[in-house]
């Protein structure tokens, strides 16, 4: 392999940096080092691992401004959002530093053995394939539990956030993480499928985790299944945002616009389909359009910018085509709907009304600054529309009656359901989806237990005269 990776500022179209892609030999050497380092790391105590993760959190905070600027320049989110992402990473490291020992403590079971317990043990190397939209958070939310569980980690990040990927490694190494335990692999885009398959097939890799598209998740999951390896897939989402007739419309409309256009709408769990009961649909629509039209689109490094550019030109063009297809199929363009005539990958915050079946905005994930409003007769129809998707990541229900909202939410299929709140990830709660949104969980105790061998122990003080019932 002999290729390079060039990052481009999506706000200006200018090149940021060029990196040499790793050869097969360099990747193999990283794998060898990771395996050797993990063998030693697996025998360190939780206290020692915890100290390094706490130091990593401090390192993140000490570099917060430079890291935030790098994220903004590589993928375009407003600087305030990048700063918040850095802090979220620090909190995530601290969370696992403080809680991993409890999550993975031996558990005693009462059986006919003299002693029986379950231990949670490292599985070797965790391969992570991560996206560009939250280029630091996506990395640290897998790395923190993987490392605290005693594993090593290899990261294959998106090429457009290569600088952020290398900074993640530098932060952990500056915090005292032994060399080789976390390595960023720079893989030329054309070589990603072959390198990914080779790594997953290696017996030293115990698990793979990916956040990305259905296509990428299907490919990675297929290889992992063939190789009988653990995998966690966090894929797309087309999250319903159900507004019942008794909801506080001004507040809900404000949060709807804020949630949808955070990160220029480039989030798996941002609300994408606003499903609104007919009696309040017109007023909700008016409020949302007003809120969206008040958003400031511009330089993501400037104070006061609400929406920056999309991360890449091809992504912007894809969203533009999706909007046009939906309008051609009968959707009403209420605001936006155009690429902005300026340097960079800017697309106007867009709201589509009268969205229904047969439209791209109804059936596909809108991964950009586009909100779709779907009017329904009642809660029953809202549930039907919410479930009328191949995705099942998050859902939010809005009502003055919390019990009613929960009852509606129980009928919606999703990995998370938020009542009177915008869906978000939180280190204290498991995160993941169902249906075509993937499987497995990140974060909380569930997240760290994805990356361990759950080992059963059965001990007798003297040889048993009768064996336990076998299969």
Question: Residue range 414-422: average pLDDT?
Answer: 98
By the 8 A CB rule, do 397 and 423 touch?
Answer: no
In the predicted model, what is the mean pLDDT of residues 244-250?
A: 98
Please check the confidence at residue 277 and state whether its pLDDT lies above 50: yes
Is the pLDDT at 2 greater than 70? The verdict is no
Residues 349-362 have pLDDT tens digits of 999 999 999 999 99
Predicted confidence at residue 196, as pLDDT, reads 98
* Cβ contacts of 41 within 8 Å, gap of 6 or more: 49, 122, 147, 150, 151, 152, 178, 181
Name 89's Cβ contacts closer than 8 Å, sequence gap at least 6: 57, 60, 136, 137, 139, 140, 141
**Residue 316 and residue 369: Cα distance in Å, rounded?**
9
Q: Does the pLDDT of residue 193 top 50, yes or no?
A: yes
The model's pLDDT over 98-133, given as tens digits with 9 standing for 90+, comes to 999 999 999 999 999 999 999 999 999 999 999 999
Full-model pTM? 0.97
Give Cβ neighbours of residue 118 (< 8 Å, ≥ 6 apart). 106, 107, 109, 454, 455, 456, 457
Pairwise CA distance, residues 217 & 219, whole Å: 5
Contact 165, 204 (CB under 8 A): no
Q: Is the pLDDT of residue 248 over 90?
A: yes
Return all residues near 228 (Cβ < 8 A) that are at least 6 apart: none
Tell me if 376 sits within 8 A of 277, measured CB to CB.
Answer: yes
**Per-residue model confidence (pLDDT) at position 312:** 98
Instruction: Reply yes or no on whether the pLDDT at 95 is more than 70.
Output: yes
CA pair distance 230, 310, nearest whole angstrom: 33
Tokens of 391: 């995705």
Please answer whether residues 305 and 331 qualify as being in contact, where contact means their C-beta atoms are separated by less than 8 angstroms.
no
**Residue 313, CA atoms < 13 Å, CB-side half-sphere:** 9
| Mean pLDDT for the stretch of residues 430-452 | 98
**Catalytically annotated residues:** 234, 268
Place of tokens 């490919």: 219
* CA atoms of 299 and 361, how far apart (whole Å): 27
* Total residues found in the chain within this entry: 471
Q: What is the mean pLDDT of the chain?
A: 97
Of residues 470 and 41, the one with the higher pLDDT is 41
pLDDT at residue 294 greater than cutoff 60? yes
Q: Are 421 and 259 in contact (CB under 8 A)?
A: no
Query: CA 287 to CA 271: how far, in whole Å?
Result: 16
Name the percent of the chain lying above pLDDT 90.
Answer: 98
Residue 228 has pLDDT above 90, yes or no: yes
Contacts of 50 (CB under 8 A, 6+ apart): 97, 98, 100, 101, 148
Average pLDDT of the residues in 422-451: 98
pLDDT at residue 467 tops 70 = no
Is the pLDDT reported for residue 464 higher than 90? no
pLDDT at residue 470, as a whole number? 57
pLDDT of residue 1: 43
Residue ranges of the alpha helices (H) in 230-378?
249-261, 278-293, 313-328, 360-363
Residue 12 sits at φ, ψ, to 5 deg, of -125, -20
pLDDT recorded at residue 141? 98
Coil, strand or helix: which one is 121?
strand
């Amino acid at each position: 392999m002999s290729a390079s990776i060039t990052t481009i500022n999506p706000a200006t179209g200018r090149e940021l940096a060029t990196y040499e892609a790793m050869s097969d030999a360099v990747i193999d050497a990283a794998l060898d080092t990771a395996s050797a380092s993990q063998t030693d790391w697996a025998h360190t105590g939780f206290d020692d691992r915890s100290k390094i993760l706490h130091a990593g959190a401090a390192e993140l905070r000490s570099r917060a401004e430079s890291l935030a600027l790098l994220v903004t320049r590589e993928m375009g989110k407003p600087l305030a959002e990048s700063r918040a992402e850095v802090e979220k990473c620090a909190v995530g490291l601290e969370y696992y530093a403080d809680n991993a020992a409890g999550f993975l403590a031996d558990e005693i079971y009462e059986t006919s053995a003299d002693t029986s317990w379950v231990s949670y043990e490292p599985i070797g190397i965790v391969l992570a394939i991560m996206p560009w939209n939250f280029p630091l958070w996506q990395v640290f939310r897998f790395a923190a539990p993987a490392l605290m569980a005693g594993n090593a980690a290899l990261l294959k990040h998106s090429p457009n956030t290569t600088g952020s990927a290398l900074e993640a490694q530098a932060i952990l190494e500056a915090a005292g993480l032994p060399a080789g335990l976390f390595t960023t692999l720079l893989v030329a885009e054309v070589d990603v499928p072959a390198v990914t398959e080779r790594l997953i097939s290696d017996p030293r890799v115990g698990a793979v985790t990916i956040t990305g598209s259905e296509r990428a998740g299907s490919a990675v999951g297929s290889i992992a299944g063939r190789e009988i390896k653990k995998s966690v897939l966090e894929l797309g989402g087309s999250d319903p945002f159900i507004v019942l007739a008794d909801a506080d419309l001004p507040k809900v409309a404000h949060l709807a616009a804020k949630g949808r256009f955070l990160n220029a709408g480039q989030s798996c769990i941002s609300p994408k389909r606003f499903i609104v009961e007919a009696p309040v649909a017109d007023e909700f629509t008016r409020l949302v359009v007003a809120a969206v039209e008040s958003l400031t689109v511009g330089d993501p490094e400037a104070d006061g910018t609400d929406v920056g550019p999309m991360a890449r030109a091809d992504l912007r063009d894809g969203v533009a085509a999706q909007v046009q297809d939906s309008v051609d199929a009968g959707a009403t363009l209420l605001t936006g709907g155009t690429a902005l005539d300026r340097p960079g990958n800017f697309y106007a915050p867009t709201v589509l009304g009268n969205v229904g079946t047969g439209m791209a905005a109804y059936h596909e994930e809108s991964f950009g600054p586009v909100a779709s409003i779907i009017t329904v007769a009642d809660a029953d129809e809202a549930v039907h529309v919410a479930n009328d998707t191949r995705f099942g990541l998050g859902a939010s229900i809005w009502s003055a009656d919390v019990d009613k909202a929960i009852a509606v939410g129980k009928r919606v299929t999703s990995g998370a359901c938020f009542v009177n709140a915008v869906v978000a990830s939180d280190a204290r709660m498991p995160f993941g989806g169902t249906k075509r949104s993937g499987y497995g969980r990140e974060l909380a105790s569930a997240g760290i237990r994805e990356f361990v061998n759950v080992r059963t122990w059965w001990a007798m003080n003297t040889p048993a005269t009768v064996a336990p019932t076998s299969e």
